[in-house]
């Protein structure tokens, strides 16, 4: 039993020793493993720290990127606004440029039109001036011829009177103008009224002398333009159209602001038409219609122009 016990004890001791050795070995191994793990953990901790630092750096960089993005967004917005403003301004400038070009083109057209009208008016004025000068020259020549004929006839009459032993002094005394007596001369109003009365009664010689007397005695009379017109009218009624044209011209030249200018132009045009000078008749009637378009004489002139 003792041997068995000793053997058992020894077995237990051996087992204990063996177990103790095994545990010490495991402890050592575990300690080595723990040390290795601790070192690895330190490395991991260091890596984690480094990673955290990298994460913080990445966050900082990300914040910078976000800030830059925001700044870029604001800059992009400003750029877009600037581009939009620039495009609007360019569009406005293009529209203004197009408007200015259109206005410039219109001004050029108007200038060319006015230049053409001015050239035409100048040409017409020169032509009318030449026609008027030719007309005046022609009528001056005719008037001189009439004066020569009158002088010749006067000489013939004088010779006849001398041959017939007539009292020429008595024959050549002109009758007194209407209303003129040996007493006080008539006023301008009375002289004009008496002369007009003679005209209305178709006593043209007496009326002519009265109107001429008024012009000589009262050259600045308010009736002067009318008196001159009626002198022209007397010659027109007598069908001495050439002389009436000259008398009407005196109304136009001496009394341009008088009320007888349109009538004088009309009767001049009709007088030219009556002697067959249709070119001058048209010129004068056209001038009347242009200068006095609302007058009754202009209406008659327009109708007459259709017949010429």
Please report whether residue 166 resides in a domain.
no
CA Rg value for the chain: 65
Mean pLDDT by 10 residues, the chain (308 residues): 56 56 67 75 78 83 77 76 80 71 66 72 65 66 54 45 39 45 76 97 97 96 97 97 97 95 97 96 96 96 93
Please report whether residue 202 resides in a domain.
yes
- Which distant-in-sequence residues (6+ apart) come within 8 Å of 173 by Cβ? none
Residue-wise DSSP of 27-61 = HHHHHHHHHHHHHHHHHHHHHHHHHHHHHHHHHHH
Please report whether residue 79 resides in a domain.
no
Number of folded domains that form the chain: 1
Please report whether residue 145 resides in a domain.
no
Q: What is the pLDDT of residue 164?
A: 40
Please report whether residue 286 resides in a domain.
yes
For tokens 């003679």, what's the residue? 198
Q: What is the pLDDT of residue 251?
A: 97
For tokens 């600045």, what's the residue? 220
Q: What is the pLDDT of residue 4?
A: 56
CATH, residue 276:
1.25.40.10
For tokens 């001429």, what's the residue? 212
Please report whether residue 234 resides in a domain.
yes
Q: CA angle at residue 110 from 107 to 114, to 5 degrees?
A: 135
Domain with 193, as residue range(s), is: 177-307
Answering whether pTM is above 0.75, one says no
Please report whether residue 2 resides in a domain.
no
Q: What is the pLDDT of residue 130?
A: 74
Please report whether residue 44 resides in a domain.
no
């Amino acid at each position: 039993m003792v041997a068995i016990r000793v053997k058992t004890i020894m077995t237990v001791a051996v087992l204990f020793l063996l177990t103790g050795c095994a545990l010490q070995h495991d402890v050592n191994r575990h300690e080595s493993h723990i040390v290795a793990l601790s070192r690895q953990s330190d490395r991991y901790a260091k890596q984690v720290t480094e990673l955290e630092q990298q994460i913080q750096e990445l966050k900082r960089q990300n914040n910078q990127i976000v800030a830059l993005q925001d700044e870029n967004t604001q800059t992009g917005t400003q750029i877009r606004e600037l581009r939009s403003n620039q495009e609007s301004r360019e569009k406005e400038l293009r529209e203004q440029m197009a408007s200015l070009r259109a206005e410039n083109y219109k001004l050029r057209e108007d200038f060319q039109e006015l230049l053409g009208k001015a050239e035409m008016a100048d040409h017409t004025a020169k032509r009318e001036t030449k026609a008027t000068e030719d007309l005046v020259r022609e009528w001056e020549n005719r008037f001189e011829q009439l004066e020569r004929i009158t002088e010749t006839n006067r000489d013939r009459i004088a010779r006849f009177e001398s041959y017939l032993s007539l009292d020429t002094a008595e024959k050549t005394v002109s009758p007194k103008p209407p209303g003129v007596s040996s007493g006080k001369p008539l006023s301008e109003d009375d002289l004009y009224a008496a002369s007009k009365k003679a005209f209305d009664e178709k006593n043209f010689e007496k009326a002519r002398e009265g109107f001429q007397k008024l012009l000589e005695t009262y050259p600045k009379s308010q009736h002067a333009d009318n008196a001159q017109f009626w002198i022209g009218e007397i010659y027109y009624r007598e069908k001495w159209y050439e002389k009436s044209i000259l008398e009407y011209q005196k109304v136009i030249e001496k009394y341009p602001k008088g009320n007888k200018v349109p009538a004088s132009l009309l009767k001049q045009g009709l007088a030219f038409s009556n002697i067959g000078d249709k070119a001058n008749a048209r010129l004068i009637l056209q001038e009347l219609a242009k200068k006095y378009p609302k007058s009754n004489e202009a209406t008659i002139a327009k109708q007459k122009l259709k017949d010429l």
